Each structure stands twice: as C-alpha cells, then as structure tokens.
Structure 1
C-alpha cells in the first residue's frame, strides 16, 4: 500500500533530523527545494513542512526560514519495521485498538510520528501487519487429515484460533470477512481447513465457504472478549463477580413468573456458562451439520506449504 507523498517525504526529512544529519538550527529543505527534488506539487511540499511542524521537529524563524527545533534530534534511530509492528501489538494487547494511534506508537518507540511512515502507509496497513505477525506465531496444527480425520483438523485449528483471540483480544475486531485484508499467514489458516476438507466430494467453492464459516464462528464468538476485558478493567469485577452482584436484580426479574424456562435453568444450579462453553458447544454443532455433506475420503491432496 503506497503512502501519501507528503508523508513519505516528511518521514525522510524526520529521519535526517533524528540521525543528526540535520542539527538543531539547521535549515530544512524549502518548499521550492522539495518540489525540485521530489517532483511534487507546491501544495504537497507545503504539507510536508506542516507535518514536520505538527511533530515539533521544525519551527519558522524570521530571516532564516524553517529550521530544526532545538532538542528535535535527541530521539534514537528509527527502528525497523519488525520493531514497529511488535510495539504496536504490545500496545493493542494492553490497551485495545482504540488505544493504538500513530502518535501513541511513535511515543512508545521514542521517535517522531512521521518516521513511522517509512515503514507503513497508514494505520490500516499497520493493523494488517499486526494481524499477520500474530497469525505467524500461530501456524496451523500438525494434524494430518489422512491420519487424524478432517474433523480433528478443523477442531484443532478452531481451538488454536480461540487461544490466539484470547491472547490478543483486539484481533477479532480487526478481522473482517466481508472486506478481508490479505495477510498471508491468515490465509494459511484457510488453506489448511480447505486441505482438511479435500477429497470428500466438495467443490472448491464449498470447501472455501465451509472453511470461512468455521473461522467466522470462532471470530464471532471472540468479538466479546475485548468488551469483557474492558468491562473488567473499568468495573474491577471479573465475569463471575459481576454475575454475583446481579443476583438481587435477577431474582426480581424472575419473580414475575414470565420467564419459566430461565427460572428452571437457574433453579437447576448448573450455571457453568461462559464463552469457552459457548464456543465448544457451537463448534461441535457446526461440525455435526457439516458432516452430512462429506463423503468417504478419496485422495487427500498434497500437504499445504507450511
């Protein structure tokens, strides 16, 4: 994804400031020089200067033009892309995607915000790289359809994805199945499930749909994890503690007698209901429904590239 020209040029100048090539008090390239050096319009060159000024890297000095601000060159060298993505994942893990901004990320790395655009075009590309990094840490399981069966393979990958979402609660919100971002390691999960279903009489379109269906079920359940984590942080109560605090209100609602089935469930004493229970119950029913579509395996196809 190509980044806007003014961000790319501003990032180059920011790197020169951070490295010390342009010291405090030095003049930076003028708008006319930027136009000449980079072949951009004057409006784009003006945006470059404005972006650097917003970051506090430069300031206008009467009689001298735009110069490097004092103290602007004290930040460490610009990190590589891997460090940028890892830092972004760590922020999202701790604060969720709403807590992740380019300014916040740059602050954690100790660099000017514009320097980030040397590595990513915008936040959308940053999130894509974050997703792919997390997926790379969770490759498909070492289960083989010919040995373990298609169902065990799909179960194994679904549970792997669930553990991934539990560790990175922001991830489910970031993933879209209607406008998917093409992350190679995420696509490897889909490839694995299609491979597990191969040789059972399904055409490629049905294989793909079935694979996405299972992945979307896990992701759809996982979107609740971020909200639960945020609610626990804000209230200071775990899920069990919150439910305990609602007992009086629940008793008042059930006292009306209009919810006899729920009242019977509560009276049974078996209240072991959480997202893990919901996921496992639904996953088994989903695979039960898929099973009648599959005939006895013939060829299983070549193993996908791992």
Structure 2
C-alpha cells in the first residue's frame, strides 16, 4: 500500500495496480474509467486522469479506441515505476513543458476522447496525460473549445482521397461516405462536435465536402439541390455515428453493455406489448431468430444503398432548377 503522504492519484493508481496483481482485473479487461474513479474515490476528473496516466506509464494499462482503458497484456515489458510529486514541476516535467507543442496536445486530447469520451477531455486532463504543469497547454491552445476544433480537424484529416477518382458519381459518393464512416468509427466523439445547422469551419472537413460536391457536379443539378444532397448524405453518416458515443456514455454510466441492458428491459418490453397490443411490432420482433441485433456498421451499409438509389432518381430526373438566393 502507498503511504498516506502519497497524493490521491498515486494512491488510486496503487489500488488499481493491486487489483491487477491479484487478478481481479485480468489482461484485456476494462479498468475503471475516469468518471468511475471520480465517483468511487470522490476525486476530480483531473485526478482520475492522472491516476490512469501513471498506470499507463508503468505499462499496467493501455488505451484502446472505442473500448477504453484496459489491463495490458502480461508479456508486455513494464517500465520503471513513475512517481510525480503533486502539483510540483520537477526537472523532468519542466523538460516536458519545453518539448510541448500544439500537435502533442491535440494527440493527447484525441487519445483521451477515443478511450474515455469527449467529456473526459479538459485542459487539465490533457496536461496530466502529458505529464506537464496544468497551465502549460494554454501556451499553445486558447482553451477546450479551440482544442476540440483542432482535434476534429486532425481527425477528419487522417483520410485522403485518390488523385484519380473512381468512375461515376455513385462510386465516388460511396467512397466518400465509407471514408467518413471509417473516421467516425475510429473517433466516436466526432459526432458530438458541432451540429448540422452550424457546420464546423474546418479545412479538413471541407476536403470531404469538396469530394462529394465534385461527384455531383455536372449532373444537371442546381447548386441548392447539390448542397441538399451533400448535407443529406453527411447527416445520414452523422445520424448513425452519434449513437456510438452515446452508447459508450450509457455503458459507463450504467455499467451494463448493450446486450445486458436489453436483457434487463425484457420484463418491461413484455408488459408493454401485453398491455397495449401492437400486434405487428410484437410479431415482427418476436419472429427474428435470436432477437434483433442492432449493429451500426451493418445498418450503415444497409441504408447507404437505398439512399444512393434515391439520389440516382434525382440525378436521372433532375427537379426544376431553383433560383439561388
């Protein structure tokens, strides 16, 4: 056990390390998230983040996108134990401050968002992840709002398009849609940033818009219709992707996986259908072998084809041209 003089984040890290050593947390199993640590130990999110950072530096845990922080494999070499005195800059942290850059801050914030969700990102939690003084990131980024925009721009910029586009508008739109879906799958928090009516002014996102609009260009469509189709396709991807982060938040809050939550709802579902009837709904849902399995990747692929079929009808029979305001 850590001595009482140790800072809270060190005591929390040692307790989780003890659980790992005793086998109560097995390799690959999720460790408590920052929110769970904050609730269990009654500490701030920044303290919880620092505890997980210490465990990661010691090689005991690792962050996995869309999963969270998990116990590292046993055969992974463990670095020397790190001890960072509370709220004090040592020569090593001062050295880290000197090496700090906007790119490092954005990468660290993205790692936190990928594993813990966007709400876990703060300037303080990023500083803790990087092992620098709490105020150091402000020398490179104005605040969390600016940081989130930088994260989103970097995420959308991870994928590029071929110099020679595929033949035909449909193949081009398919490629664009699947590219954006892949980015959202890699970074589920992206769908929580901005809204459809207030689009993000990001250079990297504009690249995806240019790709889609160029696919529709020269098809006899007026500018308004082209923009409507582009927004419709983007909103389809965004609308499904938004549920990835919400599911992760719900699992963190309830401690139940999607399947476990559905199992808990079975009595309520049976009571509602018995009391109110809904014969078609009851018949359809009960007829699916093994129960209806809602998989977002499958749903995305399933819906993309009819959406493009609808766009094909508009392209083949363009509506009357609308005057541009």
TM-score range, shorter chain: 0.5 to 0.7
The residue that corresponds to 1:84 in the other structure is: 105
CA distance in 1 between counterparts of 2:163 and 2:287 reads 41
Counterpart check, 1:153 vs 2:172: yes
The answer on whether the counterparts of 1:141 and 1:157 sit within 8 Å (CA) in structure 2 is no
The residue that corresponds to 1:225 in the other structure is: 244
The residue that corresponds to 1:205 in the other structure is: 224
Question: Aligned with 1:246: secondary structure?
Answer: helix
Counterpart check, 1:99 vs 2:115: no
Give the alignment's Cα RMSD to 1 decimal: 2.4
**Shift of residue 202, structure 1, vs aligned partner:** 1.4
Greater Rg by CA: 1
The residue that corresponds to 2:294 in the other structure is: 273
TM-score by length of 1: 0.66
**Shift of residue 84, structure 1, vs aligned partner:** 0.8
Taking structure 1 as reference, are residues 109 and 125 closer, same or farther at Cα in structure 2, changes over 3 Å only?
same
**Residues 84-126 of structure 1: per-residue CA shift (max 9 Å, x gap):** 1100100111111111111111121122233212211221211
Counterpart check, 1:191 vs 2:210: yes
CA distance in 1 between counterparts of 2:90 and 2:273 reads 66
Question: Aligned with 1:256: secondary structure?
Answer: helix
The answer on whether the counterparts of 2:177 and 2:234 sit within 8 Å (CA) in structure 1 is yes
**Shift of residue 71, structure 1, vs aligned partner:** 4.5
Q: How many residues align?
A: 225
Taking structure 1 as reference, are residues 242 and 206 closer, same or farther at Cα in structure 2, changes over 3 Å only?
same
TM-score by length of 2: 0.63
CA distance in 1 between counterparts of 2:247 and 2:97 reads 38
CA distance in 2 between counterparts of 1:240 and 1:279 reads 20
**Residues 253-274 of structure 1: per-residue CA shift (max 9 Å, x gap):** 2222521111111231252433
Q: How does 1:158-197 map to 2 (within 5 A)?
A: 158-197=177-216
CA distance in 2 between counterparts of 1:282 and 1:95 reads 29
The residue that corresponds to 2:304 in the other structure is: 283
Structure 1 residues without counterparts, runs of 5 or longer: 1-69, 297-306
The answer on whether the counterparts of 1:190 and 1:208 sit within 8 Å (CA) in structure 2 is no
Q: How does 1:10-89 map to 2 (within 5 A)?
A: 71-72=88-89, 74=91, 75=93, 76-78=96-98, 79-89=100-110
